[in-house]
Amino acid sequence: MRPGDRFDRYVIERVLGEGGMATVYLGRHETLQSAHALKVLRVDVPEIKRRLMAEGRVQSGIRHPNVVAVTDILDTQQGVALVMEFVDGPALDEYQDGRPLPVDEALELFRGIVLGVGEAHRVGVVHRDLKTANVLLHHTSNAGVIPKVTDFGLVKVFESSGTKSGVTMGTPEYMSPEQVRDSAKVDPRSDLWSLGVILYEMLTGDVPFDGDDMLEIYNAIAKARFVPLRELCPEAPRWVDQLVSDLLVVDPDARIQNAEEILARLDRPASTPVAPSSPPSADVLPLSSSFPATLALALVGAGFMFLALGGVMLALLFANTPAVPASREVVLAVTGLPEGTERVVRVDG
């Protein structure tokens, strides 16, 4: 679609991002004149359509200032689209651009991310693909920024009945050990591991687990082998170093157990030099002068296959919009899922 074209009730203004299966447009409601992001599916595949609509339903049920809102699902002769809140800032990884953030800025942004993830967990959703590329930064009217978690195309709706087996996806550098080993063991604590990776990356400019190939990354994750935070960020307080260490614990039972515990650690006494404030609804951080004004919303897909961990795993390679460095994502296919015990959805783009 081109500027001026219409998609249902929305007039297209420009492309915000493009992925392997969907394009994200800035659209304006023809009556209300309100701006929205439209994630429009480009492929006519029933299963992909079902997954996109499932993504929209899940994300629309998470109502929080630190989560990108989905306001509608359009299923028309023109195609299928999610209507989302328009976020006018970049993704966190684009904003950071490989550089460490100041400790106080990183902690304030992190607190907002934890609030959004905690709300998802409260309503029974595990994100499974938390990373800096899936956090968008929204400008506020008072020259601040609110971090917003997005891309719930890879969620697990966890249920008390448990899961025998299923399909797991994720970006290798951010995946928890249990997500690598066995999808049946993934619960909200897996997202907490990913939050530890995000905090480490914000403070150091790099992820704690990296390698030349995915098996090397997985080996580092399985052993929780990483350079201690304070070696790369000596200005970080010891309690922040301990927070990262307590999130990046291989055994989920020995890890921090919930988002509330992370927030309790962040809400330090006033005597702690970098303790963030605690706004009632969403965390707002003053913008630095280097804050870009672009938006990264889409994922670009490419695929490959590999053999590991005693079975054949199908790996799909995704990246964000062209302005964002490529990220590797993997799919592990497991059989034997009883009907109705787990729903796992993923949409590229």
Q: Which residues are catalytic?
A: 129
- Counting Cα atoms < 13 Å in the Cβ hemisphere of 295 gives 23
- Tokens 């999808």 belong to 183
Please tell me the number of Cα atoms within 13 Å of 188 on its side-chain side: 21
How far apart CA 131 and CA 91 sit, in angstroms, is 10
Q: Are 130 and 149 in contact (CB under 8 A)?
A: yes
CB atoms within 10 A of CB 57: 15
98 Ramachandran zone, left/alpha/beta (phi>0; psi -120 to 50): left
- In the sheet where 285-286 sits, what is the strand order? 135-139, 144-149, 285-286
Hey, is 23 helix, strand or coil? strand
